[in-house]
Amino acid sequence: MCNVSNHKQNKAVINRISRVCGHLGSIKKMIEENRDCKEILIQLAACKQAVNNIGKIYLTDHINHCVKNAINNNDQAIIEDLNDIIDKFIK
């Protein structure tokens, strides 16, 4: 099992999540103000991309630390777990 404290990108990921949360709050306000659908959809697409980018950072960090350490310790189950993670991430 990989401990999340081993991830070097935690601070960057937390900062990005905070920005996405703020952005979602702004989108909620746009909806409450009955702003143009096109503007809202553009902002939702930006949030979706931001969340995907957070996932990419975290997945890369997971591979570089957790998976690498598990392989070095002959833990082959990590490959099955990684396949499952990638499958869920891509959906």
Looking at residue 6, its pLDDT comes to 66
In the numeric block, which tokens belong to residue 23? 């952005």
Looking at residue 41, its pLDDT comes to 97
- The CATH code that applies to domain 8-90 is 1.20.58.1000
Q: Cβ atoms within 10 A of the Cβ of 86, count? A: 12
Looking at residue 48, its pLDDT comes to 94
* Residue pair 82/68 in contact by the 8 Å Cβ criterion: no
Looking at residue 3, its pLDDT comes to 65
Low pLDDT (below 70) residues in the chain? 1-6
